Amino acid sequence: MMMEFLAPTAGGLLIGLAAGGLYLARGRMAGISGILGESLRLESADAGWRWSFLAGLLAGGVALRVLVPGALPQAIAASLPLLLAAGFLVGYGARLGGGCTSGHGVCGLAHGSARSLVATLSFMSVAVLTVYVARHLLAGVIP
Amino acid sequence: MSRPLVPFLAGLVFALGLGISGMTQPAKVIGFLDLSGHWDASLAFVMAGAVAANLLLVRFGPRLLGRMARAGGAAASASAPGRAPLGVQLRAALRDRRLLAGSAAFGVGWGLVGFCPGPAIVALATGHGEALVFFGAMGLGMLAYRAAPALWARLRGQPAVRLPGPAPRQECGMA
């Protein structure tokens, strides 16, 4: 019982450490959708730190693959149309809403932002509703 | 430390945290979002741990370091001068259609597959085709957001409106 919450808590603390460290050292928010979206803005003079952060994320993925293989999915059970639709909605929605789980959730809440609180409650409840509809009401219908 | 090292390390530690916490397992994320049946509540501890650690660093870090962070540690506090009362901020946020519609669309996508942007990037290391497709579609969605105002303007035969640039402080995702 205890153990099953230990890893999520430890992982969460690392995420908060990374986000807080980036803010203290650079005054930047570790909002990943914003970092990825803005890193493509080539005219931006300060895209460099975003590329470094993204490289760090990828390096972390490679490190996990080597050191903690169980942390990464062995298989991703979703059809091609579902992956395309979900990916598009995540990318477009996060940019339109000004942030995602990291930007609004991890950073915004820690900074006491009311906007981020509203955003986090919105996407959490919509995601719960989506899972209910997709996995229960439409079980077997959605590929 | 040299310029690119801090953001690189932040990304690296962030990714390790995502992996250790279970956020990079879409099946586990779906299990957390699925309140009916056997609810897996463990991922709530990820957000709690992350917000707690970040909050402590943001609140007390500048004082411990003996200086204010570049972006201004004062802005970190909800009661900081210059910020409207919480009720006013909440009402403004609840009237913000972009915030609500964007978050809702994001929630649908997140609930359908179980990937949000961070884990989607980290999962590229698996080399699975599914991870690559999701990442590509996510990038396309971000580009579509950028292209949308110009497309609308062209359809209406009006000059393009510029998108708001990176947000000043609070909107982390835009930073």
The 10s digit of each residue's pLDDT in A80-115 is 999 999 999 999 999 999 999 999 999 999 999 999
- In angstroms, the separation between the Cα of residue A134 and the nearest Cα of chain B is 7
Picking from B106, B151, B169 by the largest number of A CB atoms within 10 A of its own CB, the best residue to mutate is B106
Measured between alpha carbons, how far is residue A34 from residues A3, A24, A99 in Å?
33, 18, 6
Phi, psi of B149 (to 5 degrees): -60, -40
Q: Look up residue B122 and give its amino acid.
A: V
| pLDDT digit string, tens, across residues B65-79 | 875 545 444 444 444
Beta-carbon separation of A64 and B98 below 8 A: no
Residues of A in contact with B1 (CB under 8 A): 25
The angle, 0 to 180 degrees and rounded to 10, between the axes of the packed helices A3-26 and B5-21 is: 160
Residues B102/B108/B110/B113 CA torsion (nearest 10 deg): -150
How many C-beta atoms surround the C-beta of residue B19 within 10 A? Answer: 29
Q: Residue B130 and residue A71: Cβ atoms within 8 Å?
A: no
Model ipTM over 0.90: yes
pLDDT at residue number B154: 86
pTM of the model: 0.88
Q: Which of A12, A78, A113 is closest, CB to CB, to B113?
A: A78
- Whole-number Å distance between alpha carbons of B53 and B58: 9
Chain A residue with the nearest C-alpha to that of B62: A24
Q: How far is CA B70 from CA A100, B18, B51, B122, in A?
A: 23, 27, 21, 28
Q: How far does A138 lie from chain B, in Å, by closest CA?
A: 12
